[in-house]
Amino acid sequence: MSPRNTDVSEQVQALCPLVQVMGDIADKWTIGILVATAHGPIRFTELERAVNGISRRMLTLNLRKLERDGLLTRKVYPTVPPKVEYTATPMAMELYDSLVGMTSWAEKHRAAIAAARASYDAHRAAAAVAS
Amino acid sequence: MSPRNTDVSEQVQALCPLVQVMGDIADKWTIGILVATAHGPIRFTELERAVNGISRRMLTLNLRKLERDGLLTRKVYPTVPPKVEYTATPMAMELYDSLVGMTSWAEKHRAAIAAARASYDAHRAAAAVAS
DNA sequence: CGGGATCCCAGTCGATACTG
DNA sequence: CAGTATCGACTGGGATCCCG
């Protein structure tokens, strides 16, 4: 075995596919990409604009990851200039419903969350002064 | 303006609270913690075991983040030894339904995902040999 | 147009040790 | 028990250049 015991966590990952899968889905960009692709085939540059603030590199990386997981299909049209379309698979469409639930929840409660943060920060600032 | 144009993304973050909120929720550990806390008050060490593979540090960090966002309440019992309970707020309970949807989706499709990965990797390995 | 390859910094994470 | 503090390793992710 490896001298580093870092692989304890690797073993956990191996034993728990759920964590593995969720770790892939529940990442900063994946949700946005999935939501963007769920409305039908979409091109690379369209995605780049659709997913607020993502870089070309991260978009590519995430698209590959999702393609690998079988959530997206990549269709290349050998034209000039090239054209590539990404489409959500049925499996991804199933997930999409839960995703919509999350985003609508976020939209509904974002004001409350902002308020909670402000309150929390104010409280901690006061505590810092008192110290 | 700053010489670096890195802060373009910072501006995007500021303009889009949704991305901000989702970035917090859709992280590797948050989902697990939320699911674990949704079943009633739960103690720190119980959480540590419940959330598969999380380190003590990350647990603390995430708990603070969720508390700040108003999703968790932290109740301290000044006993010896100390006892701290974390409870999901109503807002978090609303989110919980979508979370369950995601995890059950993951559980349902994890085999298909594993197969897709294997197929994808095999395909790429073959392509590498052919090069 | 849709990437791949490389560089590199900043932040994040895990391991470990210490504390009330 | 429930954290905090510190440190080093790793990596996410932007910038940049290039290619079919």
Question: What pLDDT does residue B15 have?
Answer: 54
Q: Which residue has the higher pLDDT, B9 or B40?
A: B40
CATH 3.40.50.970 applies to domain A3-130: no
Q: How far is A22 from chain B (nearest CA, A)?
A: 7
Q: How does pLDDT run across B63-114, given as a tens digit for each residue?
A: 999 999 999 999 999 999 999 999 999 999 999 998 889 889 998 998 999 9
Both tokens of B81, joined, read: 């030894």
pLDDT band at B26 (very low <50, low <70, confident <90, very high): confident
Question: What pLDDT does residue B80 have?
Answer: 92
- Tally of residues, chain A: 131
Question: What pLDDT does residue B19 have?
Answer: 74
B75, B87 Cβ separation under 8 angstroms: yes
pLDDT band at B129 (very low <50, low <70, confident <90, very high): low
Both tokens of B116, joined, read: 């897709």
Tell me which residues of chain A have a pLDDT lower than 50. Answer: 1-7, 9
* 3-state secondary structure (DSSP) of residue B13: helix
> In chain A, which residues from 56 to 95 place their CB closer than 7 Å to nucleic acid strand C?
56-57, 60, 63-64, 74, 81-84
Looking at the complex, does the CB of residue B61 fall below 8 Å from at least one CB of chain A? no
Question: Looking at the DSSP assignment, which residues form a beta bridge with residue A73?
Answer: A87
